[in-house]
Amino acid sequence: MASEGPIVLCDNLVKIYKTKDIEVLALQGLEVAIEYGELMAIIGNSGSGKSTFLNMIGGLDRPSAGKLIVDGHDLFKLSEQRLVEYKRKTVGFVWQNNARNLIPYLSAWENVQMPMLFDKGRHKKARALELLEVVGLGHRKHSKLSQLSGGEQQRVAIAIALSNEPKLLLADEPTGSVDGKTAAYILEVFRELNRERGLTVVIVTHDRLLSKKVNRVVAIRDGKISSERVMRQSYLDRLQGISSFTESDEAHDEFAILDRAGRLQIPRELLDKLNVKGSRVRMGLTDDGKIVIENPTPDGG
């Protein structure tokens, strides 16, 4: 597929989960584009739809309505056979739960080689060893799962995700079960893959500090994009010299997102600061062209 336009294009994407007694609307007209070569994070509270979105673009779940194009593939139209091929050749996954990534009785290099066994060609072991070097674990190639720390297991999982040479790497809470120092190292692996190989990386995370060091942060709330934060160029230029996470709020510019009908999601924390109760706010336009949103009652009650 030619790399023209975004690698991921979602237009009015809807996902409904149905059970016998209830329907859950997980994505409610989500609209987002991810460019080739981006390093971005998706954040949101539990139940916001962020993991559902990751499963949609990873081909693990079928959308209910809307438009979803990934690397030129229309995921609404793929047959089951072509969907399997898509998952093998286009996307790589890294999960928070290492049990989904690793086989405990195999060594590190054998785990990395496993996804390659179905491919033609030779030199699979050499390729597995090369990928372990990429994630800084060449020296632990013979280690079993029980001999590796949580951070080392996660780095093996990244190497496994790279074994099919994906165009899009998807990581679901990849630092959720490791300490801060290890989390920083794992993110640096992602940054290196993005910088040196041009790999598109999408990370779903609760980790606010992790999201400080990616180029774009998309916030999902109630199944829609509520805001985006884009890293300021001045911070991006300095990032190579930063060896640890920062709490600085100066890393990104934040933007609210309008949908095609002109509707706007106001971040919950801003509404809380205004002490807004219920579903009404006052909105006005100032003489200098600014939109002002106020609590509808002077005392905030």
The larger pLDDT score, comparing residue 132 to residue 29, is at 132
Indicate if the pLDDT at residue 260 is higher than 50: yes
Indicate if the pLDDT at residue 281 is higher than 60: yes
pLDDT at 58: 93
What is the rounded CA–CA span in Å between residue 134 and residue 37?
18
Indicate if the pLDDT at residue 245 is higher than 80: no
Question: How many other C-beta atoms are found inside a 10 Å radius of the C-beta of residue 22?
Answer: 7
pLDDT digits (tens, 9 = 90+) for 179-207: 888 888 888 899 999 998 999 999 998 87
Determine what percent of the chain is predicted with pLDDT higher than 70.
83
Confidence band of 99 (pLDDT split at 50, 70, 90) = low
Indicate if the pLDDT at residue 263 is higher than 60: yes
Indicate if the pLDDT at residue 259 is higher than 60: yes
pLDDT at 37: 93
pLDDT digits (tens, 9 = 90+) for 156-183: 999 999 998 999 999 998 888 788 888 8
Question: How many other C-beta atoms are found inside a 10 Å radius of the C-beta of residue 121?
Answer: 7
Indicate if the pLDDT at residue 242 is higher than 50: no
Give the residue extent of every domain in the chain. 35-59+80-261, 266-301
Indicate if the pLDDT at residue 301 is higher than 60: no
Q: What is the pTM of this model?
A: 0.81
Are the beta carbons of 167 and 71 closer than 8 angstroms?
yes
What is the rounded CA–CA span in Å between residue 121 and residue 51?
34
pLDDT at 279: 75
Are the beta carbons of 167 and 7 closer than 8 angstroms?
yes
Indicate if the pLDDT at residue 137 is higher than 50: yes
pLDDT at 241: 47
Confidence band of 146 (pLDDT split at 50, 70, 90) = confident
Indicate if the pLDDT at residue 270 is higher than 90: no
Residues 6+ apart with CB under 8 A from 49: 15, 26, 27, 28, 30, 220, 222, 223, 224
Class of domain 35-59+80-261: alpha beta
Confidence band of 296 (pLDDT split at 50, 70, 90) = confident
Residue (of 180, 127, 182, 169) closest to 41 by Cα position: 169
Q: What is the mean pLDDT of the chain?
A: 82
The pLDDT of 206-220, averaged and rounded, is: 79
pLDDT at 73: 93
Please report the DSSP string for the chain in residue order.
----S-SEEEEEEEEEEE-SS-EEEEEEEEEEEE-TT-EEEEE--TTSSHHHHHHHHTTSS--SEEEEEETTEETTT--HHHHHHHHHHTEEEEESSGGGT--TTS-HHHHHHGGGTTS-SS-HHHHHHHHHHHTT-GGGTT--GGGS-HHHHHHHHHHHHHTT--SEEEEESTTTTS-HHHHHHHHHHHHHHHHHH--EEEEE-S-HHHHTTSSEEEEEETTEEEEEEEE-HHHHHHGGG--S----TTSEEEEE-B-TT--BPPPHHHHHHTT--TT--EEEE-TTS-EEEE-SSTT--
Mean pLDDT lowest for which of 3-12, 75-84, 103-112, 194-203?
Answer: 3-12
Confidence band of 243 (pLDDT split at 50, 70, 90) = very low
The pLDDT of 110-129, averaged and rounded, is: 82
The larger pLDDT score, comparing residue 124 to residue 208, is at 124
